[in-house]
């Protein structure tokens, strides 16, 4: 299903950037230049858990539904060079290779906003609830960035209007990326057998009807008694053709409907669960290194030491508690 897959909503937004000059402090500059400065100053994710308590964590870390989020400025369409052609053919038809070819250009620069977040479905309500929550957690940063986009200041006054503004700039996402599956997802098989049988019977009826029609047309030159069966044979051809077209159309619609169904959500794929798993992975690695000698020991004392140590590890890290202790959001290291 476009935009929603595997329990995640893949939001892709292209927002037109203003082309009028703006005042950035005491300087008159272009919106593109001012926007780049804002994005450069936007805090990014912490490099490791130890630095998660810094003074300026990423504002996206305040939202516990964000898996990934990115802003990108698209100045214009990249030019890939001239359309390839045969030099001899071009010379023969009088093409001047130094003449510029038509190029596509954007009418204005765009700000790309892409986000992957937890959602129960691909509904507009899920998208709007996320955007409303995003505005409540980092509305100040969003306003500082989007103020250079066309119509933002005039249209966005609160969380609801922000969700509406983003929705108008949304694009359908058809290349979603899921990376949390441990085992292959169990997907229902497309029911191809009924369509194959129906298509085969329709094709047989069409072939028999066409063959009989041709035979009766040829036989009609020699005897008039065969011509009375001609309407029936021709009718069978028409019925077989119509039936075959209906089967093909039904198979196509069924296949497209099956393709629009999203993959089931991977187990333990919400952001709080992923953060907890990353925390346990990191601390358990340290636990294994610390108790390596006790783990390989053969005497009862070392076995008891490992048992007591793992019991303390479980009590401290609480694997079933997603709230704490866990890896903070906005941390990209382990």
Strand partners, 69: 115
Residues 327 and 49 sit within 8 Å (Cβ to Cβ): yes
Residue closest to 153 by CA, chosen among 18, 12, 14, 13: 18
pLDDT digit of tens for each residue in the chain (334 aa)? Answer: 578 888 889 999 999 999 988 877 778 889 999 999 999 988 887 766 555 555 567 899 888 899 989 999 999 888 887 777 777 887 788 877 777 788 888 899 999 999 999 998 889 999 999 999 999 999 999 999 999 999 999 999 999 999 999 999 999 988 777 777 777 777 778 888 888 889 899 999 889 888 888 887 777 666 666 667 778 888 888 888 899 899 999 999 988 888 777 888 777 788 888 889 889 988 898 888 887 765 555 555 577 788 888 899 999 999 999 988 988 888 776 5
Q: How many CB atoms lie within 10 A of CB 161?
A: 13
Tell me which H or E stretch contains 184. Answer: none
Q: How far apart are alpha carbons 140 and 327 in whole angstroms? A: 25
Question: pTM (2 decimals)?
Answer: 0.73
- In the chain, the N- to C-terminal Cα span, in Å, equals 32
Residues 178 and 6 sit within 8 Å (Cβ to Cβ): yes
Contacts of 210 (CB under 8 A, 6+ apart): 237
- Grouping H, G, I as helix, E, B as strand and the rest as coil, residue 249 is helix
Give the per-residue pLDDT at 74.
95
Distance of CA 322 to the CA centre of its chain: 26
Give the per-residue pLDDT at 189.
80
Strand partners, 4: 9
Q: Which two tokens stand for residue 27?
A: 């300087």
Give the per-residue pLDDT at 92.
81
Give the per-residue pLDDT at 170.
96
Tell me which H or E stretch contains 267. Answer: none
Q: How far apart are alpha carbons 123 and 120 in whole angstroms? A: 8
Contacts of 232 (CB under 8 A, 6+ apart): none
Q: How far apart are alpha carbons 192 and 161 in whole angstroms? A: 46
Dmax (CA) for the chain in angstroms is: 107
Residues 204 and 191 sit within 8 Å (Cβ to Cβ): no
Q: How far apart are alpha carbons 161 and 145 in whole angstroms? A: 16
Residue with tokens 């005491």: 26
Strand partners, 110: 16, 74
| 188 burial level (CB within 10 Å; 0-12, 13-18, 19+) | exposed
Q: Which two tokens stand for residue 323?
A: 């709230």
Q: What are phi and psi of 28, to 5 degrees?
A: -95, 125
């Amino acid at each position: 299903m476009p935009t929603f897959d595997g329990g995640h909503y893949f939001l892709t937004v292209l927002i037109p950037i203003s082309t009028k000059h703006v005042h950035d402090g005491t300087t008159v500059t272009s919106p593109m230049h001012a926007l780049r400065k804002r994005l450069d100053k936007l805090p990014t994710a912490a490099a490791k858990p130890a630095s998660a308590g810094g003074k300026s964590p990423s504002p996206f870390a305040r939202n516990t539904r964000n898996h990934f989020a990115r802003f990108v400025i698209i100045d214009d369409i990249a030019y890939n060079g001239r359309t390839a052609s045969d030099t001899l053919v071009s010379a023969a038809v009088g093409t001047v290779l130094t003449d510029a070819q038509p190029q596509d250009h954007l009418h204005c620069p765009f700000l790309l906003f892409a986000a992957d977040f937890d959602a129960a479905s691909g509904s507009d309500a899920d998208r709007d609830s996320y955007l409303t929550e995003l505005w409540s957690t980092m509305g100040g940063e969003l306003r500082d960035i989007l103020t250079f986009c066309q119509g933002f200041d005039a249209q966005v006054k609160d969380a609801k209007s922000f969700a509406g503004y983003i929705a108008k700039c949304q694009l359908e996402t058809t290349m979603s990326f899921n990376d949390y599956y441990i085992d292959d997802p169990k997907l229902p098989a497309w029911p191809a057998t009924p369509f194959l049988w129906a298509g085969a019977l329709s094709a047989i009826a069409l072939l028999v009807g066409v063959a009989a029609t041709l035979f009766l047309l040829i036989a009609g030159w020699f005897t008039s008694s065969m011509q009375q069966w001609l309407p029936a044979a021709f009718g069978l051809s028409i019925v077989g053709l119509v039936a075959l077209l209906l089967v093909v159309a039904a198979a196509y619609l069924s296949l497209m409907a099956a393709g629009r169904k999203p993959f089931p959500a991977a187990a333990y794929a919400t952001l709080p669960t992923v953060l907890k798993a990353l925390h346990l992975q990191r601390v358990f690695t340290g636990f294994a290194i610390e108790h390596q000698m006790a783990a390989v020991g053969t005497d009862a004392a070392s076995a008891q030491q490992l048992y007591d140590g793992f019991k303390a590890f479980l009590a401290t890290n609480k694997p079933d508690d997603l709230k704490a202790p866990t890896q903070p959001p906005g941390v990209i290291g382990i």
